[in-house]
Amino acid sequence: MSNNRVEKAAAGIESDVIDLTERLNVKADIDQELRLLEALLFAAVEPIDIETLRERMPENSDVAALLARLARDYSGRGVNLVHVANRWRFQTAPDLEHHLVDVKETPRKLSRAALETLAIISYHQPVTRAEIEDVRGVAVSKGTIDVLMELDWVRLRGRRRTPGRPVTYGTTDGFLAHFNLETIADLPGRDDLKAAGLLDPRLPKDFEMPTPIMPDDLTDEEDPLDEQEEPEFFEDFLSDDENE
């Protein structure tokens, strides 16, 4: 009987050792996966989506959980791991930005026309040039649209199913990333803009702001752009003269 007890005790110890070894191996695997994920994010020249990360990580890695762990680990540090436009990137902690002003690249200053056009596209997309002009009350120049497209904040979506088939415009993931928005729905609403002094306090009570959306797919009112068309044909007959 004593021999049986000794054998059972030895078997139990052996089982515990095996379990401990497996747990240690799992922890080592997780640490290595975290290191690889961290390296991939640091090496990326632009925000990277979770599908691409899964392709680069070992098979069966729980990339979503690893991202959450890494974001938590960096939450109080000089750089943070953030999720913008359905992509992940490291960026300077917001409260430290003012210390880095002297080493930042000076941003390109947009004209009032460009800012107004960008705001209209952001809140009304998909939108045509004629619709932009209707909201602004003045014509939109080719140069204004060109600047926004060069910055990768605005893109051509398709063509409206109306006479003349005008081009429709929308914002890009680059727009979300630049303004640190996770989705287009994070744009400020009426109350936020009014509190910031960006809306006239004398607005009528029935004034309503559109809910911003950024559909990836074309809407029922849009046709796709023709593949054989060259980019210069997408200028939508804009005038070279800027009307402010």
pLDDT averaged over every residue in the chain: 79
Q: What is the pLDDT of residues 117-128, one digit of tens each?
A: 998 999 988 999
* 160, pLDDT greater than 70: yes
Given a contact cutoff of 8 angstroms between Cβ atoms, the answer to whether 138 and 239 are in contact is no
Residue 241's pLDDT is 43
β 87-92/79-84 pair status: antiparallel
β 154-160/87-92 pair status: unpaired
Q: What is the pLDDT of residues 176-195, one digit of tens each?
A: 988 888 888 888 877 777 67
Question: Quick one: pLDDT band at residue 107, thresholds 50, 70, 90?
Answer: low
Q: What is the pLDDT of residues 20-55, one digit of tens each?
A: 555 545 566 788 989 999 999 999 988 999 999 999
Joined together, the tokens standing for residue 217 give 């797919």
Question: Quick one: pLDDT band at residue 13, thresholds 50, 70, 90?
Answer: low
Residue 235 CA to residue 158 CA, distance in Å, equals 13
* 10, pLDDT greater than 60: no
Residue 236 CA to residue 107 CA, distance in Å, equals 28
Domains of the chain: 2-97 (1.10.10.10), 112-235 (1.10.10.10)
Residues 6+ apart with CB under 8 A from 33: 57, 58, 61, 66
